[in-house]
Amino acid sequence: MSAVHAPGADAAELAERRWAWIVAGIIALLVVMMVFTGLHWASMPPSRVEVVDPRTLHIRGEFVEDNLGTSVDAQGKVTVRLVAQQYSFTPQCIVVPADTPVTFRGTASDAIHGFVVGRTNANVMLIPGFVATFTTRFPRAGELLMPCHEYCGTGHQGMWARVQVLEPAEFLRQAQPGKAVSCVPR
């Protein structure tokens, strides 16, 4: 009996062919997904890119120390400004009103940082030289943790802040026109 006609040789070849087709099919599917997502996402408007000079953050402009924290403008729009650095956020405690749109504007002074707030959808990367911005709404009052979620160095695991979500009336009592407010971490 020659090797070509060994028992099971035909079955083995059939199985090999079948698996080769399955693998080729998976690769083809992945390529189609890459092309689809590439074209689909490229057709959407890119997010706005805002730049800021990380060397002057603390000296002038929007991110000077006494402009950090939460402010309310004349139209009632709530904006939180913050800076991340190794290994803390400024401010370390952020106060926001519940059930109100809150716009975050943040950047980093040294390395890439990021944060997530509790289990909300507030989740962003902070990159030196760029202003990250997003608007969210915190459904109910309470205190939330805000850890850094980008590995930024040896102190990364100790880098976090708190977010105090207050009832809107209580927040407005603390918010003073033209002044950024923050809370004292407990």
Please give the residue ranges that form the binding site for ligand CUA (CB under 6 A): 84, 87, 113, 148, 150-152, 156, 159
Which distant-in-sequence residues (6+ apart) come within 8 Å of 111 by Cβ? Answer: 86, 128, 152, 153
Token pair in block for residue 7: 């028992």
Which distant-in-sequence residues (6+ apart) come within 8 Å of 15 by Cβ? Answer: none
Q: Compute the least distance from the CB of residue 119 to ligand CUA, in Å.
A: 19
- Name which of 21 and 151 has its Cβ closer to ligand CUA: 151
Q: Compute the least distance from the CB of residue 156 to ligand CUA, in Å.
A: 4
Cα distance between residue 17 and residue 140, in whole Å: 59
Q: Compute the least distance from the CB of residue 27 to ligand CUA, in Å.
A: 37
CA 109-112-117 angle, to 5 degrees, is 100
- Name which of 19 and 151 has its Cβ closer to ligand CUA: 151
Token pair in block for residue 86: 């190794």
Q: Compute the least distance from the CB of residue 98 to ligand CUA, in Å.
A: 27
- Name which of 83 and 148 has its Cβ closer to ligand CUA: 148
- Name which of 83 and 84 has its Cβ closer to ligand CUA: 84
Q: Compute the least distance from the CB of residue 114 to ligand CUA, in Å.
A: 7
- Name which of 132 and 148 has its Cβ closer to ligand CUA: 148
Cα 155 off chain centre by: 19
172-178 contacts, C-beta under 8 A, 24 or more apart: 172/72, 172/97, 174/95, 175/70, 175/71, 175/72, 175/78, 177/72, 177/74, 178/71
